[in-house]
Amino acid sequence: MKISELKAGASNVTIQAKVVKKDDPREVVTKYGKRLSVANITLEDDSGSIPMSLWGNDISKVNEGDMIEIVNGYVNEFRGAPQLSTGKFGKINVIEKGSGTEEELGETEEYDAAEELPKDSDVDENE
């Protein structure tokens, strides 16, 4: 199944897509007073993109750049647009870990190894 085929109300959805965006987790309070962590991600395949919310332990499983599979998911409507969810019975499998973003990996500095080598005049061959 492709993202472009997903419509609100679809259930038993199995799809593979790339995580192209992951927001920072935030804490929400349910109408029952329970505190939960949630992070929004955007999934993309060659047909389109769709938002999805990650809850609890699923947040740390998934990172930007990962290729994931959603098994037994469903599509609801949030603010007038389709949104993918796993609910209680769905599952998220990480198929392939992404390489991370430059920010996650740290900036790369150019390094000239020749600058670290001693000059011939600095080396005493009698030692």
pLDDT in tens, 74-97: 999 999 999 999 988 999 999 999
Among 84, 66, 79, smallest CA distance to 5 is for 84
pLDDT score at 30 = 85
pLDDT score at 104 = 42
25-42: per-residue pLDDT in tens? 999 998 899 999 999 999
User: What CATH number belongs to 3-99?
Assistant: 2.40.50.140
Structure tokens at 106: 């740290």
DSSP, collapsed to helix, strand or coil, labels residue 122 as helix
Beta bridge partners of 97: none
H and E: helices and strands count for the chain: 2, 7
- More confident call, 119 vs 100: 100
Residue matched to tokens 């499998």: 93
Confidence of residue 99 (pLDDT cuts 50, 70, 90): confident
49-79: per-residue pLDDT in tens? 999 999 989 999 999 999 999 999 999 999 9
pLDDT score at 100 = 56
Structure tokens at 96: 């392939």
Confidence of residue 45 (pLDDT cuts 50, 70, 90): very high
Confidence of residue 121 (pLDDT cuts 50, 70, 90): very low
